[in-house]
Structure 1
Amino acid sequence: MSGTMKDGRRRSPLAMIAMPLMVILWTIPTVGLLVTSFRTREEAATSGWWSSIFGGGWTLDNYRGLFENTSMGSSLVNSIVVAVPATVLPIMFAAFAAYAFTFMRFPGKDVLFIVIVAVMVVPIQVAFQPMLDLLGPRGLGINGQFVAVWLLHTGFGMPLAVYTLRNYMATLPNSVVESAKIDGASHFQTFWKLVAPMSSPAIAAFATLQFLWVWNDLLIAKLFIGGGANKTVIVDLQQMLGTQGQGAELLTAGAFLSMVIPMIVFFSLQQFLVRGMTSGAVKG
């Protein structure tokens, strides 16, 4: 293994030891989860998961029972239905807002941006009671429907999205936007054909974080969707934890299934995540 990084600097010996150790520590629970999901109930209750790695006795009955005896299949679909719009909507609105904050002039622009940044530090829990009143029977009457969590995740995700995208767009060469104006392009044309494609690393980075947050969310899904037919996979797992207390093998199978789609999203957009989160550190 090379002792130097891409920029020519030598790797710290401590980092070379710490990084593999951290990878191992983070990987062991996932491997244990995967192995346990293929074990029988008797084996899971009487021995550690590591004893089955090379010992055989693996079975698909847990996954078969998960889809035949629980609502895990529909819950996975519900989570996709929740997560995709709740990721796309805040990015769409925030991208337009970030463009305005970066390349347009209007009164109170700096004050409004400061307010948006300040909202980021407000705990989302303080908004739950007003939102329950607004979305519940005394308000819009959409509590328990997908549109309720779409609106909530859009609202809660917007401040960070605007902040992230605006800081990224501020690093883009202003001459490109000025040239588009000289050529007669409108703000929308400039945004859609120039700024948005150039901002794709930041957009992909926020999309990854937002998707993972929405997918793994329990509190909002529990309060505003509940445990009915529209419940998400995380709510379903939480309910299984109460009804399958002795069925660890079913819980681990469900937990591993719930990890598959986020893992696909993360590894697909990993390079954009790193570029998008670090691009604003150095301008140029």
Structure 2
Amino acid sequence: MDNIAGRKSSLVWTVQLATLALVALWLFPTVGLLVSSFRTADQISSSGWWKSLTASEQVIQLRTGGKDAAREENGLWIVKGNLLTEGDTPPGSDVEITRFGVSSKAVDAFEIGDEAVFSKDSKTFTLLKDGSYRLTSTKELKSRGQRVFVTAVLPPEFTLKNYEQVLLSGDTTDSMAKAFFNTLTVTIPATIIPIVIAAFAAYALAWMEFPGRSLLIAAVVALLVVPLQLALIPLLKLHLGIGIGKGYLGVWLAHTGFGLPLAIYLLRNYMAGLPRDIIENAKVDGATDFQVFTKIVLPLSFPALASFAIFQFLWTWNDLLVAKVFLIDATGETTVMTNQIVELLGTRGGNWEILATAAFVSIAVPLAVFFAMQRYLVRGLLAGSVK
């Protein structure tokens, strides 16, 4: 009964559910990173990204007015004002205050309307729900006001300041803009060069008869299993020996060498699966191998070319190891985005909003490339599997 025509097998539903679970596992962190990149540091530390559309309770550090705002009455210095609307960065009048404190060890020690007493400085402080306060002191106040910790319920807030700081900051140690263009400078040539070389090599291995062709194909397959880390130091010594040194040219050649085996193998399988009649008819009509390659084989091989381009672009864009070895980044002139994020982790370990923004900027371009060319991915990967 399970094999009756028109009835879906239970295995189909299992595959669909597994696919849905994999999509969710990939999508949730990406969406969380995107949402966190638009949130403030206080919001990220107080609640998860899934609560970004709801109000959240946070502890805010504010300051009262100082010496300039005080007035003296019968030997008592008095400062009145509103914490929600005054100061350098007021939170706004739409904030609901629940508790407050005057010490970092007890940020919620007092309820609204209570009087906090500073026995050491002979001060008292009273805060009302609307943010208005009254600070008194028997001694003359200092220039800076009294520090107050306020527990408040803040409405959801999104900001573009994180992206402004990451992309438009004038400080090269904090700016991702230069690293973004450096990464493009590395990635675009490192993707195009191996595709061009591999396309010619794949056509020769697929359709041209010459001695040793089988050995070359076997060598290409063998190179697929060579670990990348095994060749880094010898290749760097070779670059230094021939005068290339560290720079863009060195990293382009390194990525080209590491990407060629997969590119040749993938393109050769696809080109070998093209109809032989088309190639033979073109040669009968007088077409040379170069004309057959450029006018027939290359246009028909676009799915395989796009498939490898996706892999090479993503690998090169997200690479850190090769860039560390073959690029001079001590001055920050050739620093790529992956290395810049590592630097941010070291200098801004607590600024999660900056790290989230930098990470999403880093994955935005690969996501765009993948979704633009993903329809060719499966066709290219299945090249040569079915005759």
CA–CA distance in structure 1, aligned partners of residues 328 and 372 of structure 2: 31
1:176 equivalent to 2:278? Answer: yes
**Higher strand proportion (structure 1 or 2):** 2
Counterpart code for 1:64: E
In structure 1, the residue matched to 2:92 is none
* Aligned-residue offset at 1:260: 1.0
In structure 2, the residue matched to 1:140 is 243
**Preserved contact between residue 35 and residue 53 of structure 1 (Cα < 8 Å):** no
The secondary structure found in structure 2 opposite 1:172 is coil
**Preserved contact between residue 39 and residue 158 of structure 2 (Cα < 8 Å):** yes
Deviation readout 1:115-164 (Å, 9 max, x if unpaired): 1110110101111111221223x441431x11111100100100000000
Matched ranges for 1:186-205 at <5 A: 186-205=288-307
Counterpart code for 1:163: Y
Tell me the percent identity: 46
1:116 equivalent to 2:220? Answer: yes
Sort the Cα spacing of 1:235 and 1:226 in 2 relative to 1 into closer, same or farther, 3 A: farther
CA–CA distance in structure 2, aligned partners of residues 280 and 54 of structure 1: 52
* Aligned-residue offset at 1:195: 0.4
The secondary structure found in structure 1 opposite 2:177 is helix
CA–CA distance in structure 1, aligned partners of residues 361 and 302 of structure 2: 29
Matched ranges for 1:93-242 at <5 A: 93-136=197-240, 138-143=241-246, 145-227=247-329, 228-242=332-346
CA–CA distance in structure 2, aligned partners of residues 28 and 81 of structure 1: 31
Sort the Cα spacing of 1:9 and 1:157 in 2 relative to 1 into closer, same or farther, 3 A: farther
Question: Stretches of 4+ moved more than 6 A in 1?
Answer: none
> Size of the alignment, in residue pairs?
274
In structure 2, the residue matched to 1:20 is 20
1:74 equivalent to 2:178? Answer: yes
* Greater mean deviation of Cα atoms: 44-53 or 176-185: 44-53
CA–CA distance in structure 2, aligned partners of residues 198 and 49 of structure 1: 45
CA–CA distance in structure 2, aligned partners of residues 54 and 168 of structure 1: 52
In structure 1, the residue matched to 2:354 is 250
In structure 2, the residue matched to 1:5 is none
- Consecutive unaligned residues of structure 2, counting only runs of 5 or more, are 1-6, 56-155
Out of 45, 51, 61, which is 2:161 matched to?
Answer: 61
The secondary structure found in structure 1 opposite 2:384 is helix
RMSD of aligned C-alpha atoms?
1.5
**Higher helix proportion (structure 1 or 2):** 1
**Preserved contact between residue 167 and residue 280 of structure 1 (Cα < 8 Å):** yes
- Consecutive unaligned residues of structure 1, counting only runs of 5 or more, are 1-7
Q: Using CA pairs under 8 Å that are at least 6 residues apart, name the structure with larger relative contact order, 1 or 2.
A: 1
Deviation readout 1:218-239 (Å, 9 max, x if unpaired): 1001111143311111111111
Counterpart code for 1:198: L
* Aligned-residue offset at 1:165: 0.4
The secondary structure found in structure 2 opposite 1:33 is helix
TM-score normalised to the size of structure 2? 0.68
Sort the Cα spacing of 1:141 and 1:167 in 2 relative to 1 into closer, same or farther, 3 A: closer
CA–CA distance in structure 2, aligned partners of residues 85 and 126 of structure 1: 23
Sort the Cα spacing of 1:141 and 1:85 in 2 relative to 1 into closer, same or farther, 3 A: closer
Counterpart code for 1:257: V
**Preserved contact between residue 269 and residue 383 of structure 2 (Cα < 8 Å):** no
CA–CA distance in structure 1, aligned partners of residues 381 and 263 of structure 2: 12
* Aligned-residue offset at 1:247: 0.8
* Aligned-residue offset at 1:208: 0.7
In structure 2, the residue matched to 1:39 is 39
Counterpart code for 1:272: Y
* Greater mean deviation of Cα atoms: 175-184 or 67-76: 67-76
Counterpart code for 2:261: P
* Aligned-residue offset at 1:71: 2.6
* Aligned-residue offset at 1:54: 4.0
Counterpart code for 2:272: A
